[in-house]
Amino acid sequence: MRQYLYTLLLFSCFATPSFGANPPAENAVYHDNLKTVQLRRTGQLGAHRYIQLGRQNALTLSFDDFHADFKNYNYTFLHCNADWTPSDLIKSEYLKSYQQELIRNYNFSFNTFVPFTHYELSFPNQYIQFTKSGNYLLIVYLDDPAEPAFTLRFTIFEEMVNISTNTHRANTADMMNEYQQVDFNIFHGSYPIPTPFEDLKVVILQNHRWDNAITGLKPRFLSNNTLNYDYDLENNFLGSNEFREFDTKDMRTLSLRVRKIEIDTSWIAYIQREESRRFNQFITWEDLNGSYLIRKLDSEEPGTEADYVLMDFYLSYPAPEPGGVFLFSEGTNWVLDQNYALTYDFDEKAYRGRFYIKQGFHNYMFATMNADGSANTTPFEGNHWQTENEYTIIVYHREMGIRYDRCVGIATSNYIGD
């Protein structure tokens, strides 16, 4: 008889990979003892990782270390081109004051079953400021930035152009039931863009994901300082579905999609048994577009007081998927992380998995891995043109004579199907 084994990786910590001069410019966590690695615009709830150059705005990083001691985590930044390759700038050209610094703000967990150390950092700050717009990689490390604990992407922009968006159901007959089309215009006014076909790069993100970003679009036509990007195929995204969700802010009672709670050495919460939604009729509800909020009932300090809950997932499925099955969301950094891989139970004909997830309100989907390594949620979630999604347009400009891709505008809008 084949036995089902829970996927449970809690205190394991593999050796840190060494990448030479620079680590890959990816959203990646390399230490398994680090959990809930989150980067947000300070004071906002959404998964926005964009701030404006020279303004009083900041990003806040937070993460938990399950080793529950204090470590000297340091941080630095790497400036990148629009395609996330390292730019030709040296650090002194885009960082002001120091080039690396210690994460100074930390606290130990309080009154939790699972002990951890909670770290926080906001930037720009008194130690490091930015002088250039563009893509950046945050690198957090212990001893050597070439051996990171984790890396996260973010973007600093300038308001040099205005972007208007028109997102709607896909136009073509074979795509209109499953796809959403993102048309947009870029108005640059007096800002000079003499050769937009060569000098401009645009990126479209769905729910702030880089793994399925659309790139390489060129203007369809130019008129009165306006660049038109009205396509029928190249700017289409699969609509996917509203995100699955659960709420664990109150462990004293069953809440959203939690069917049972137990206490052992930690909290254990069982999610309602689930199945594929691929061929289900579309039902809309409000979600966080794959994001999450750390919350604990009656707590003003959820960073240190929200506990880690062993979440038990059960997905009925007739046979194993060749690419496996993973939890997929902002909480997994939009990557297919083996730490969030479910295991197929042949007796139950279901995928099962247990993962430590911090208390709060969480969105997620199930995904399998395509042959090229990309994530595919379609077998479990389906696709609907009506799904509410958030789309972000990022515009980069490489002017004559400069050595980096300047980010000259960002616009984010929500699409809600009619």
- Residues of the chain with pLDDT below 50 are 1-14
How far the first Cα of the chain sits from its last, in Å, is 50
Q: What was the pLDDT predicted at 418?
A: 66
From 2, 36, 6, 96, select the one nearest 351 (Cα to Cα): 6
Q: pLDDT by residue (tens digit) across 355-376?
A: 999 999 999 999 999 999 999 9
Q: What was the pLDDT predicted at 20?
A: 61
Domains 28-157 and 162-240+387-415 share a fold: yes
Q: What was the pLDDT predicted at 10?
A: 41
User: What sign does the CA torsion over 368, 369, 370, 375 have?
Assistant: positive
Task: Please tell me the CATH code under which domain 162-240+387-415 is placed.
Answer: 2.60.40
Burial (CB count <10 Å: 0-12, 13-18, 19+), residue 41 = middle
Q: What was the pLDDT predicted at 4?
A: 39
Q: pLDDT by residue (tens digit) across 204-250?
A: 999 999 999 999 999 999 999 999 999 989 999 999 999 999 999 99
DSSP conformation letters of 45-93 = -S---EEETTSS--EEEEEEETT-S----EEEEEEE-TTSSBPS--HHH
From 126, 121, 160, 114, select the one nearest 138 (Cα to Cα): 121
Q: What was the pLDDT predicted at 14?
A: 44
User: What sign does the CA torsion over 198, 199, 205, 209 have?
Assistant: positive
Strand partners, 77: 138
Cβ-Cβ contacts under 8 Å for 47 (sequence gap 6 or more): 40, 207, 208, 289, 290, 291, 330
From 206, 267, 190, select the one nearest 241 (Cα to Cα): 206
Strand residues in 131-170 grouped as ranges (E): 134-141, 148-157, 162-169
Give the Cα separation of 171 and 68 in Å (integer): 53
User: Dihedral through CA 380, CA 385, CA 389, CA 391, nearest 10?
Assistant: 120
- The pairs formed by 276-282 with CB atoms below 8 angstroms and a separation of 24 or more are 276/315, 276/316, 276/317, 276/379, 276/380, 276/381, 276/382, 277/241, 277/380, 277/381, 277/382, 278/378, 278/379, 278/380, 278/381, 278/382, 279/382, 280/382, 282/241, 282/384, 282/386, 282/387
CB 392 within 8 A of CB 205: yes
Chain center to CA of 358: 16
Amino acid residing at 209: R
Strand partners, 156: 51, 134
Q: What was the pLDDT predicted at 18?
A: 59
Could you tell me whether strands 74-80 and 134-141 are parallel, antiparallel, or unpaired per DSSP bridges? antiparallel
Q: What was the pLDDT predicted at 401?
A: 86
Give the Cα separation of 284 and 274 in Å (integer): 17
Instruction: Return the structure tokens found at 148.
Output: 């990171």
Task: Please tell me the CATH code under which domain 28-157 is placed.
Answer: 2.60.40
Q: For the chain, give every domain's residue range.
A: 28-157, 162-240+387-415, 244-381
